Copies of this chain bind each other. A is one copy, B any other.
Amino acid sequence: MNTDLTLYESKASPNSRRVRIFLAEKGIEIPTRTVDLGAKEQFSAEYVAINPRMQVPTLVLGDGTVIGEVPAIWRYIEEAYPDKPALLGTTPQAKALIAMWERRAEIDGFAAVMEGVRNAVAGLKGRALSGPHAYEQIPEIVERSKMRVAHFFADFNERLKTVPFVAGDAFSAADITTLAAIDFAAGGMKMGIPPGFDALQAWYDKTSDRSASKA
């Protein structure tokens, strides 16, 4: 275990799960500190001093450097452990294709679910956008999010008819974000993979079965 690093995270945070799976796929263990979102611990003075954006996950390095944002935490881990299986690609072409597909999974899937949840849930009134500033919910966004998630399922089903993994031939961070988005849609919006989307369902079943996906 690398005790120079500390990961602040929450089991209730789908973004934290993206980092947990990434670490588990690489077989890396680092000390974690739970931030209790139910108790609004992310707004506590102690946590705001660590991450003024009041978000999880946050990775703190041994020298005190604070890394927020999932893709940035991933990038640190990928670069700091070059002997572990690569999840962000090994060639310039693979790195770019994984970056592209991971981003599409985030924008079309993960972020669409996130805005659907944050603009709908009563407990997030006045917190429609994550971060240090207060924004009121916009109900019209919720209906649009449902359309976006439906398109995400359809588009990724088409993609997965042609390739075994989201970014191509190998498992990558793009699969992690896609999995996290699908489970977040099921849990947060009660939207599951529609019947007949066999390629996406087969990919989902296979990916869910990976031991790291339980992280």
Give me the interface of A with B, judged by CB distance under 8 Å: 59, 61, 65, 67-69, 71-73, 75-76, 79-80, 91-93, 95-97, 99-100, 103-104, 108, 129, 131-133, 135-136, 138, 140-141, 144, 147-148, 151, 155
Contact = CB atoms under 8 A, between A and B. Distances in A.
A67 B96 contact: yes
Query: Taking the full assembly, how many copies of this chain does it contain?
Result: 2
B61 A76 contact: no
A93 B147 contact: no
B65 A80 contact: no
Contacts of A97: 65, 67, 72
A111 to B, nearest CB: 9
B138 A69 contact: no
A147 B132 CA distance: 13
B79 A65 contact: no
B133 A151 contact: yes
Contact of A138 (B73, B92, B141): B141
